[in-house]
Amino acid sequence: MSENEILRRASYGPTSPVVGARGTRTRARIVTAALDLFESQGFHGTSVDEIATAAGVSRATLYQYFESKETIFVELLNECGGALMRVVRRIGPLGPTALGFDNLHWWLGEWAWVYDKYATMFVQWANVDSPRTSVRPMISRFLESYYDRIAERLVSSQVEGIDPVDAAMTLTTLVNRFNYFRHSGFGDGQPVEKLVDNLAVVLQLILFPRTPASAFAQLGAEAAAPAHAPRPVRRPPLATVPPAPVPEVTERFASLSPRASATVRQILDAGIQCFAERGYHLSFVDDIVATAGLARGTFYKYFDEKLDLLLALSTEASAISTRLGVEIRGITLDPEGLGRLRGWLADFVAFHLRYVGVTRTWIESAPQDPRLDVVRRQVGHEMWADYAALLEQVERTYPLDLDVAGLVFFCLLERLPDTAVNMTPPKTPDEAAALLGTVIERGLLNGRPIGHAAA
């Protein structure tokens, strides 16, 4: 039997398990239908019945080839993952030189092209990647293999001051998340070329922080002027206008007795845990009450439905996010301020890891609800202004658009911590915060603080 032959699942179909030409076409039609539905409805919003109907086959026929929609998803992931592997094999030598930057820049352009070609799968990949989802083991295996490939290149390029595997994980996480946001419209309508140019500058400095400004000359006259003067930020990533304030979650439950308040806290904490481990869409009320050790009826005494719980948690998380934003606005980039920034990052990582299942629903805009939109607008407006206040404090000799730099900062904060604590071997939250600090200082705060004399 040829190793390239397509097989039916065990216990299905005729006596021969090998799929013929007609079956191959049927199978391809199922995969294509699934891809179209994942694009229009999202992975979580698509059922097996809908895939079968769209492919023009029965449910039983679909199960001859795939045991679930997850297995279809994995096949599609393998295809786009293979394309990424082909790109990484073609990257040239890296280093703090014009040639090294040119190779990195070319690679990022190829990566963006692959992402756009397989955008549906990459976006859904990001949306389903939670620790206890069925596809997480396959995603983790692919990413670890990808990290190893990139780390080999970084070792040969003599990257210093950062562990090669950590650098590879950071690079992969940042580029994937940056492309996710670019494809989701967070790039403020800027051309792909400009976004990739600026991302390349940041990554070059993360890998080789002593790269001379002359290495970036290939970006042309438009990008040649360094960006250091404070200026207004055009648009936050999750909002367009400042929103009305959101009430504190404590206001809703202020009249409860201490015992009832403790019960509500159990439910809130269980929701935080389930959403972080499974994602919002794959967490059910039965999961939440089981985690809380409470009866289903107790849940409905305080919350109308799962969405109602998410709204309460979103209000709670947004209040913490606002406090963190006030704190980072007060940080200056003198030596003492850099120490405060490291402390702030540790606090942020603790917040992010606890509420990641909540905050991710803001980013994905799913579920859609007007009340959640209020939270999304508030958080998006605040965080974009907060990050800009930090980034504008650096005088740079190299070209960097501060709007794009803000998007990179957001990508790092939003994705690097949970990637770090879920890699093999896993990092502790403190280690994740330390890595985040190293990366931000090398790539985004590389320069002299405005108003401070050179050392």
Task: Give 184-210 pLDDT, tens digit per residue.
Answer: 887 777 899 999 999 999 999 999 999
How many independent structural domains does the chain possess? 3
Q: Distance of CA 80 to CAs 117, 139, 156, 348, 371, Å?
A: 9, 12, 26, 32, 36
CATH number of the CATH domain containing 48 = 1.10.10.60
Together in a domain, 31 and 126: no
Judge if 86 and 205 occupy the same domain. yes
Q: What is the mean pLDDT of residues 158-176?
A: 95
Asked whether residue 243 is assigned to any structural domain, the reply reads no
pLDDT score for 87? 86
Rounded Cα distance, 11 and 439, in Å: 52
Residues 132 and 172 reside in one and the same domain:
yes
For the chain, what percentages of helix, strand and coil (3-state, to nearest 5) are there? Answer: 65, 0, 30
Pair 164, 204 in one domain = yes
* pLDDT (0 to 100) of residue 234: 41
Within this chain, do residues 179 and 320 fall inside the same structural domain, yes or no?
A: no
**379 found inside a domain:** no
Whether the predicted pLDDT of 377 surpasses 60: yes
Query: Would you state the pLDDT for residue 384?
Result: 83
Give the single-character DSSP code of 419.
Answer: H
How do residues 381-438 score in pLDDT, each as one tens digit? Answer: 888 889 999 999 999 999 999 999 999 999 999 999 999 999 989 999 999 999 999 9
Residue 446 to residue 138: CA distance in whole angstroms: 36
Residue at 148 is within a domain: yes
Looking at the DSSP assignment, which residues form a beta bridge with residue 394?
449
CA–CA distance, 359 with 417 (Å, rounded to integer): 13
Same structural domain, 90 and 125:
yes
74-115: pLDDT as tens digits: 888 888 888 888 888 888 999 999 999 999 999 999 999 999
Mean pLDDT of 316-333: 94
Q: Quote the pLDDT of residue 190.
A: 86
- Are 32 and 135 contained in the same domain? no
CA atoms within 13 A on the CB side of 22: 2
Q: Among 48, 67, 86, where does a domain finish?
A: 67
Whether residues 418 and 368 fall in one domain = no
Other beta carbons within 10 angstroms of residue 304's beta carbon come to 10
What residue numbers bound the domain in which 44 lies?
21-67
Report yes or no on 235 lying in a domain. no
pLDDT above 60 (res 343): yes
In a domain, 16, yes or no: no
First to last CA, the chain: 70
Computed on alpha carbons and rounded to an integer, the radius of gyration of the chain in Å comes to 24
Q: Could you report the per-residue pLDDT of 51-72, keeping only the tens digit for each? A: 999 999 999 999 999 998 888 9
Q: Kindly state the percentage of the chain with pLDDT values over 90.
A: 63
Q: Is residue 360 part of a domain?
A: yes
Shared domain for 321 and 416, answered yes or no, is no
pLDDT attached to residue 382:
87
What dihedral angle (degrees, nearest 10) is formed by the CA atoms of 252, 254, 258, 262?
Answer: 30
Distance CA 157, CA 286 (A): 51
Q: Is the peptide bond before 429 cis (omega within 30 degrees of 0)?
A: no
Q: Which pairs count as long-range contacts for 137-146, CB under 8 Å and 24+ apart, including other chains?
A: 138/74, 138/77, 139/77, 140/422, 140/424, 142/77, 142/81, 143/169, 143/172, 143/423, 144/423, 144/424, 145/85, 146/81, 146/84, 146/85, 146/88, 146/172
Alpha-carbon distances of 184 from 13, 126, 137, 175, 340, rounded to whole Å: 41, 12, 26, 14, 33
Alpha helices in 215-257 (DSSP H): 221-224, 249-252
Res 242 pLDDT > 60: no
Query: Residue 344 corresponds to which tokens in the numbers above?
Result: 């702030």
Domain end, chosen from 35, 67, 99, is at 67
State whether 61 and 81 are in the same domain. no
Could you give the count of Cα atoms lying within 13 Å of 75 in the half-sphere of its Cβ?
Answer: 15
Q: Are residues 148 and 210 in the same domain?
A: yes
- Euclidean distance between CA atoms 187 and 172, whole angstroms: 19
Q: What is the pLDDT of residue 227?
A: 53
> For residue range 209-237, what is the model confidence (pLDDT) as tens digits?
999 999 999 997 555 445 544 444 444 44
- pTM (predicted TM-score): 0.83
Find all residues with CB under 8 Å of 352, minimum gap 6, and list them: 359, 413, 414, 417, 418
Q: Is residue 429 part of a domain?
A: yes
Full DSSP string of 252-284: HTTTS-HHHHHHHHHHHHHHHHHHHHH-STT--
Measured distance CA(333)–CA(326) in Å, rounded:
16
Residue 454 lies in a domain: no
Query: Residue 335: pLDDT band by 50, 70, 90 thresholds?
Result: confident
Q: Report the run of H or E that residue 359 belongs to, with start and end.
A: helix 335-364
Same domain, 308 and 422: no
- The CATH number linked to 318 is 1.10.357.10
Q: Between these two residues, 353 and 84, which has the higher pLDDT value?
A: 353
pLDDT value of residue 452:
57
Check pLDDT > 50 for residue 307.
yes
- Rounded percentage of the chain residues whose pLDDT exceeds 70: 87
> What is the spatial distance between Cα 377 and Cα 191, in angstroms, rounded to a whole number?
24
The mean pLDDT value of the chain amounts to 87
